[in-house]
Amino acid sequence: MKQQPDTRPHTSLATLSRALPNDIVAALDRFSAMEGAGMTREQALLTALRTWALSKGLLKTQEGGREGLRPEQLNATNDD
């Protein structure tokens, strides 16, 4: 069976981060400063999205969810 070519427009993370509203870009910059020196906006965007998806159960980890939560993610709602 022959695969159909991908006809979706290619959007890079750099293009996506330029299209974001200023308040979200500022939040990504703050997140980058908190998480790690030298993190680009694109890396910050991926890290924030991955963290969100993991917290919502939308993304499985390679460890199968056995790695636990980071200290800053702990709160009364996930204290089991």
Is there a domain that residue 6 lies in?
no
Range of the domain at 31: 13-59
Is there a domain that residue 18 lies in?
yes
Is there a domain that residue 1 lies in?
no
- Structural domains counted in the chain: 1
Is there a domain that residue 3 lies in?
no
Average pLDDT, stretch 12-23? 80
Confidence of residue 1 (pLDDT cuts 50, 70, 90): very low
Is there a domain that residue 69 lies in?
no
pLDDT tens sequence across 41-75 = 888 888 888 989 999 988 887 665 556 667 777 77
Is there a domain that residue 72 lies in?
no
The total of other beta-carbon atoms located within 10 Å of residue 68's CB is: 9
Percentage of the chain modeled with pLDDT above 70: 71
Is there a domain that residue 8 lies in?
no
- pLDDT, position 16: 73
Mean pLDDT of the chain: 77
Is there a domain that residue 80 lies in?
no
Residue 42 · residue 25 · CB < 8 Å = no
